[in-house]
């Protein structure tokens, strides 16, 4: 869970990173630079997949567009947030699934959120393993169920099994 990372973090800014996501080389400088603006509570990077398939390129554009419209930032984007703000309200991280969405919603309620133009590259393995259409459907249906308040354990089971 994300709360474990927060518990052991020591810096002023915490970065939540998926294990299969690669940061840009100067990621730390980029975050430090943008966080000089005290109004910014946190943010994320722009997203790209490690597979050059046409479907994933289109999917990536849709994901980035939807993120701009909805403000929801997925964990694949390497979310970063001011630690002291989150420590006061860490129950936002106490969910079994969609903790990245919860953190994203929370950041938007707390202050200004930025999406850096610099790109993180994340694995397309799940799309390759489950099939492009099937995995996309899994994401869409799970997101819908989450938005309408379905049971989180049930969504978790559906998504991961």
pLDDT digits (tens, 9 = 90+) for 47-66: 899 988 888 888 788 777 77
**Per-residue confidence band for 159, with pLDDT thresholds at 50, 70 and 90:** confident
For the sheet with 112-122, list strands across it: 13-16, 79-82, 40-49, 112-122, 21-22
pLDDT digits (tens, 9 = 90+) for 2-16: 566 667 777 889 898
pTM of the predicted model, to two decimals?
0.83
CA atoms within 13 A on the CB side of 115: 21
d(Cα 107, Cα 101) in Å, to the nearest integer?
10
pLDDT digits (tens, 9 = 90+) for 136-154: 888 888 888 888 989 888 9
Q: SS3 for 112?
A: strand
Domains in the chain with CATH codes? 2-123 (3.90.550.10)
Query: In sequence order, which residues have a C-beta less than 8 Å from that of residue 132 and are 6 or more positions away?
Result: 53, 55, 56, 59
At residue 35, φ and ψ (nearest 5 deg) are -80, 0
């Amino acid at each position: 869970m994300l709360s474990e990372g927060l518990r052991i973090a020591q810096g002023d800014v915490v970065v939540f990173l998926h294990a299969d996501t690669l940061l840009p080389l100067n990621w730390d400088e980029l975050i430090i630079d943008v966080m000089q603006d005290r109004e910014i509570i946190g943010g994320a990077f722009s997203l790209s997949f490690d597979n050059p398939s046409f479907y994933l390129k289109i999917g990536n554009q849709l994901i980035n567009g939807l993120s701009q419209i909805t403000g929801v930032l997925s964990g694949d984007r390497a979310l970063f947030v001011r630690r002291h703000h989150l420590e006061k309200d860490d129950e936002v991280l106490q969910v079994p699934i969609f903790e990245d969405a919860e953190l994203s919603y929370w950041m938007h309620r707390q202050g200004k959120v930025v999406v850096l133009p610099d790109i993180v590259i994340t694995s397309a393995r799940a799309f390759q393993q489950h099939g492009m259409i099937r995995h996309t459907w899994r994401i869409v249906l799970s997101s819908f169920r989450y938005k309408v308040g379905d049971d989180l354990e049930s969504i978790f089971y559906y998504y991961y099994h």
